[in-house]
Amino acid sequence: MTSKDFFSEGANWRSIISEYQKSSAGKSAWQLINTFIPYMVFWYLMYLSLGWSYWITLLLSVPAAGFTVRLFIIQHDCGHGSFFSSRKANDRTGIFCSLFTLTPYHYWKQNHNIHHANAGNLEHRGIGDIYTMTVQEYLSKTKWQRFKYRLYRNPLVLFIIIPTALFVILNRFPTTRAKVLKPTYPSIYYTNFLVAAIFVGMGLWVGFLNVIAIQLPITIVASTSGLWLFYVQHQYEDTYWSHDSDWDFSLAALQGSSYYKLPKVLQWFTGNIGFHHIHHLSPKIPNYNLEKCHKTSPVFQKAITLTIKSSLKSTFLTLWDENQKKLVSFRYLKKMRLGVE
């Protein structure tokens, strides 16, 4: 399929999208208020709950993590320059959010923009994405290399261990050594300094062990949720991967990015990021305009729709089969090599 075929019902899709690229200072400011203040309230309630039962603390960490995910979406929009019309306002807000998401703003911003420029391109994997091998690449590796990849793609490692390690440890260092990211390294170091200063200040106020007991479960739940969202919106059976010579930006957006249809409360906490196909067509659309844009044209509704239930099937899809143009599991590959349907 070509992009011309895909967009046959919506030839004017670019003009439609342009109508939703304008940010609203009022909506953005209100989103920041109705996210940050509740986050602080829940953090305080978690502190109070330490005197009652840590089970209550853990229960409260779930909504607190939800607001952390929402803060990350705001930071994410700022990185795309879509949250406010002012670049300075976007950068300042993004840096502010980064102190609570534990994610260095400018470093992540550049890293993520590389992802947008190359999503679904087989020649440009490895920066800002969940690394995915093709079947042939996997079969050509040594046993040790296959073991490392299988370990990396193990659901327990990928969705529990890696997210927490990423936000707590790996975000403290420039793990990607691409030259284009080098100018953003200072954002890692000043984020570390400010996060450390907040930790020390809060530790001296309420106790260091209390800060860890509160913040760690928030970070674990938020980071796992965030990585799952990022994973499932590109990793599903009929996603899009193509070689550089045939790669098409529009198809990568509408075929390689899913519409994750979530319950309204989860849609709110995740800042409408479920409309990921629209976001990839135009990162300049602020999150509060994504749903409106999605509903505007039938062509936008051609994207693969996933629900929480159907998305779980993507958990074990690990390899891109270039012959069948779909993601397959290690188990499927084993059956295929044994000649079993």
The answer on pLDDT for 338 being more than 70 is no
What per-residue confidence (pLDDT) applies to 339? Answer: 60
The answer on pLDDT for 66 being more than 50 is yes
Q: Quickly list DSSP for 100-124.
A: HHT--HHHHHHHHHHHHHHTTBGGG
The radius of gyration of the chain's CA atoms, rounded to the nearest angstrom, is: 21
The one-character DSSP state at 287 is: G
The answer on pLDDT for 250 being more than 90 is no
The one-letter amino acid at 52: W
At residue 31 the predicted structure's pLDDT band, cuts being 50, 70 and 90, is: very high
Range list of H helices, the chain: 3-6, 13-18, 25-49, 54-79, 87-101, 105-118, 135-140, 143-152, 155-156, 162-168, 185-206, 208-232, 249-254, 264-269, 276-281, 290-294, 308-311, 330-337
Residue pLDDT, tens place only, 258-282: 999 999 999 999 999 999 999 999 9
Token pair, residue 122, equals 């087989």
| 46 touches 57 (CB < 8 A) | yes
What per-residue confidence (pLDDT) applies to 341? Answer: 46
Residue range 24-45: mean pLDDT, rounded: 97
Strands 326-328, 319-321: parallel, antiparallel or unpaired by DSSP?
A: antiparallel
Picking from 77, 50, 76, the residue whose alpha carbon sits closest to that of residue 61 is 50
Residue range 87-93: mean pLDDT, rounded: 97
Confirm whether pTM is higher than 0.85. yes
Residue pLDDT, tens place only, 4-26: 555 555 457 778 888 999 999 99
Strands 259-260, 326-328: parallel, antiparallel or unpaired by DSSP?
A: unpaired
Residue pLDDT, tens place only, 169-186: 999 999 887 788 899 999
- CA separation for the pair 195, 188 (Å, rounded): 10
- CA separation for the pair 95, 193 (Å, rounded): 13
Q: What is the mean pLDDT of the chain?
A: 92
| 299 touches 325 (CB < 8 A) | no
- CA separation for the pair 138, 149 (Å, rounded): 8
148 vs 10, residue with greater confidence: 148
Residue pLDDT, tens place only, 279-336: 999 999 999 999 999 999 888 888 899 999 999 999 999 999 999 999 999 999 888 7
At residue 256 the predicted structure's pLDDT band, cuts being 50, 70 and 90, is: very high
